[in-house]
Every structure is written in structure tokens, then in C-alpha cells.
Structure 1
């Protein structure tokens, strides 16, 4: 559906511009007064470069005073642009490939029609916009190796230690591990609606106490669910108590350890749950109560012949 939406339909048409002969101070004043994040630099009316809030932040790290510095010396050029007729999916791919956040819209005559940024695009394709998101082609293939899960991936690991690996008993321990990717974060935000910027925006998160983007706490808790889902039998979650002790960084490998501590009767068990990051720091701890039913009779997997 998104590939049918043209950039012209969502772009900001009222673009703030500055002439090439202007100085950096002029552009800084425009950014502040117009409350925008970028100024397109023009030469005889044609767009030739762009200066953004990020540009000023970078330049101030190398210069003590930008005051009289010509825009031509600090603007980003050559200018990356997009056609008004391009789809917003194409715009997303271009922003990601060029590692930029602002894309001026230029028509076939070279005239500036508008500008599209990650802000506008996030309203339509939040699961595509983030720079570091892994594509589906980069994901390890699905593989069917169990009767109680629809598929596994080669980069997931699971181990189970018990006296009888066909049933659950006190003392048994299950561990599940996977890397929390950008794609995981984007998909979780889209499905749940939890689009807190600390999970999705690098620049925003850098200004928080964490200093970087972090994994949703409930997503970290989901690694526990993944481990429990692979216990012998059909695992049914009854309750979960969790304490979040430390942030989990995006791209880190999370490991859930589930230790069966008590048989509650009626096929119910209490389980201590812990999640650690790649450096074995405990980021979450708690306990769960689950009900273990027998697996249903084996049936053909839906879409078993389909390859992702």
C-alpha cells in the first residue's frame, strides 16, 4: 500500500530557504524563528545544498565561531533530492542509504517543490524509517526443527537441562538467546503502538539518561516468553512478575534463563526468570507461573512449504 503513496502527498510544501551568499548566522536565525530543522540553500532559486541542526552541532565541534562563515562552507552538498512522483517507500530507502534525515523534493525542471523528512515518513512507515534496521534479506532463514514452534532461526539458541527432557520438573533450567535487532524494535513499536522516542530515535535517546536507544522493557520480557514456549509440552503463561534492573541496548544479545523452582500441582510450576545482556549484566529478573499441557497431536504446519 505504501508504494502507492507519492512523496508529493506528504511533503512539506513551505520550505525554508536561504541564498548561497548568506552566512551561517542567517541560517541559524531562520532555524530558530521558523522552528524548522533544516534550511535549503539556493543559488539563483535552484536548490544546491542544505544545512540542518545537525550541521551546526557538527561544525561547532570544529569551529569556535560560525558567525561570518559562508553557508557554502558548511552546507551539505551535492544535494540529495527526490522526485514528487516517487513513492514514500523509495524516499525511505534513499534516506536510509544516504544516512540523512532531510530530503528536498525537486521536480523535473529542477524547481524546489517541498521537503520530506523522517518525521513525516514515520507517520506512514515507522517500521521502515530507522537507519540501522536490518532488511528481511539479512535475516537468517527459518528452519523447522521442533513440534512446538512454527519455526526457528539459525541465530537463536535454546538449551534445556533436566533429568528428563520430555517433561518439566523442579530444578530444570531453560535458556533462550537472540540478538535484539533494529527490525525487532521497529516491529514491536508498530504492533504495540509504543513509539517512545527513546527506543526509536538515536539523537533523542542520546540526550536521555541512557545515552543511546534502548530496547522496550516488555520486549526484553518477551525473551523470557520465548524460553518458556520451548519447555517440554504446551506452555501456557498464567502470571509474570518482573523487575527491570538495567537498560538493554539495541543490537545487544539477550539471554533468558528460566529455572523451575516449585511444582504447584495441577501441572502448574513456578519459574525464576532472568534476562542478561551480552556482557552478562542482569537487565531483568522476576518469576512466572505457567501451566504445562500435553502437546496436541502433530499436525502439518501452516505454510510449512513456504520459504521466507
Structure 2
């Protein structure tokens, strides 16, 4: 079973703040004296931006006036925050999506720490690997490549998708699974789930979608699944598939997991796939 590493386990608890009116020189001195990589900029006690050492180096190199130019003129804003109870994988996604190197960690409305790419890389070594990201209207795919050539142990592929009412109804029609738990609001409200849920087979299909994004022609050989929790209509789910072993010529064993919006594990299992070289197709 996966042990979730939280932002609170990784973050730097020392958080240094300066007012938005602090000068460049003041910011530089605070960074030096506190021996930290960033300052949170506040106005009336609220965080409004962040300044890093690299920001200051660039500013000074450009000839900034150290005694008159203030933090609010060059800070990165708005502040991107993450709750201390979220997972490090969620924090990594935020850093990539926002294209930043620092997150401010919160607990409720309180500032409790800072998390940078550097700290995160100690806990997520693959965070340093080359990552390919693609997005569509209702889905997102990311492939973290441990080595530059082909599939290898440690590679991780993720596929995220929102499972809507329309998709549930279409799946019921295609599969013949018309269980009212998936289709009838009044019926489903009387069950332990308190409402309609997505077919387990439809939820598990995001694993297949993730595996199909691996390099090469992927052929399913085996898949076992344990259903850990329900997925409700409209939930956003993410399949995370990590290559665990090479088990034969072009055959690989993967850990396959699906998480919901709250990062709760809803499906766990393992798969074995055969990966052939993809045929060349003229487009």
C-alpha cells in the first residue's frame, strides 16, 4: 500500500516575510541573514507575492536602484499556495502548472512554511526527470521519463479525466450495465453511497488510457484491480502507473492506481504489458 508523503513532511518551516514596501537592499539583507531562498511579501499582513534569490540577482544585474525600488515592483504575484495536508505529488503538479519554483504552505489562513523544487526533489527523485505533458478538452496526460531511450523501470505515466453524467450514461448503453446505482438518482440516494456513482469498469478505463500513452505499441497482458472507494458523477480521477519491473523480453510489470479529486485511492492493482515497437505510419 502506498504511504502518502505530505507537504508538511517536506516543507521548510522557516518562513521569512517582508512588507511590500521593503527596498531591494532590505530584501537582499533578509535573504542573506536568514539564509533562505525566498521571501514572502506581505501587505497589511496578507501574502501578496514572493521574491527569490534569483529574482534579486536578475534585478541587480539589470541595474536596479537598491535603495528606492521596492519589493512590490518585482515580486512574483499572486502567491501560489498549497495546504500542508496535500500530497507532494499535488505540490509537484502545482509547481509545473504554474511554472514556478516556490510554493507558500498554508494551514487554514496561516502561513506555515515554504516548499521549493529543491526540497521536493529529495522526496520525488523522478521530479527531476524529463516530463512530457499533453492536455485535451477534458483530460491531461504526463509521462515522467527516467531515461531518455524507451521504457524503463521508474518511468511514471499519469492520465487524468473528469467522468461526467453523459459518459456514465453512454457507458451503460455500450456495456449493457444499467444498474440503477449508476443511472437513477432516487434509487442511488437510498444506497450507502448517497447518490449515483461511476461504473467501476469506467473508472478503471483511465488506467488503460494512461498505459496507451507509454512509448511504443502497448498490449495488455494482465490486470488485477481492487476497488477501494466510489467515484461520483463529475469527479476528476487520475491514473498513476509506474513501471516496477521488466519481467521478460519487452514485458513490464506496473503498479496501477487511480486517485479521486481528494487524492483518495479509489483503485489499486498491477498490470503486465507487452511493448512492441510502434509501426511507422505516414500522416
**Structure-2-length-normalised TM-score:** 0.51
CA distance in 1, matches of 2:185, 2:282: 45
* Counterpart among 205, 211, 218 of residue 222 in structure 1: 205
Question: Residues 29-84 of structure 1, C-alpha deviation per residue, up to 9 Å, x if partnerless?
Answer: xxxxxxxxxxxxxxxxxxxxxxxxxxxxxxxxxxxxxxxxxxxxxxxxxxxxxxxx
Q: Which sections of structure 2, spanning at least 5 residues, go unmatched?
A: 1-133
Q: What SS does structure 2 have at the residue aligned with 1:258?
A: strand
Q: Aligned pair 1:292/2:280, yes or no?
A: no
Tell me if 1:185 matches 2:185.
Answer: no
Instruction: Please say if residues 224 and 275 of structure 1, whose CA atoms lie closer than 8 Å, have aligned partners that are also in contact.
Output: yes
Aligned counterpart, 2:146: 163
What is the CA-CA distance between 1:165 and the residue it aligns to? Answer: 5.2
Higher strand share: 2
Cα contact 1:165–1:232 (8 A) shared by 2: no
Aligned to 1:127: none
Larger Rg: 1
- Residue in structure 2 matched with residue 194 of structure 1 by the alignment: 177
Q: CA RMSD in A?
A: 1.5
SS at match of 1:249: coil
SS at match of 1:205: helix
Q: Answer whether contact 2:160 2:237 (CA < 8 A) is retained.
A: yes
* Alpha-carbon distance between aligned partners in 1 of 2:282 and 2:167, rounded to the nearest angstrom: 29
Deviation of 1:235 (Å)? 0.6
Which whole-Å CA distance do the structure 2 matches of 1:165 and 1:219 have between them? 32
3-state DSSP class of the match of 2:170? helix
Alignment of 1:69-148 (within 5 A): none
Question: Cα distance 1:183–1:152, how it changes in 2: closer, same or farther (>3 A)?
Answer: farther
Q: What per-residue deviation string (whole Å, max 9, x for no partner) do you get for residues 150-181 of structure 1?
A: x9732211111122355111011110001001
Deviation string, structure 1 residues 120-178 (Cα, Å, up to 9, x no partner):
xxxxxxxxxxxxxxxxxxxxxxxxxxxxxxx9732211111122355111011110001
CA contact (8 A) 2:135 2:141 kept: no
Whether 2:270 is the aligned partner of 1:270: answer: no
Unaligned runs of 5+ in 1: 1-150, 301-308
CA distance in structure 2 between the partners assigned to 1:272 and 1:163 by the alignment: 16
SS in 2 for 1:227: helix
Secondary structure of the corresponding residue to residue 273 of structure 1? strand
Residues 1:253 and 2:247 aligned together: no
The 2-side partners of 1:152 and 1:259 are apart by 20
**TM-score normalized by structure 1?**
0.47
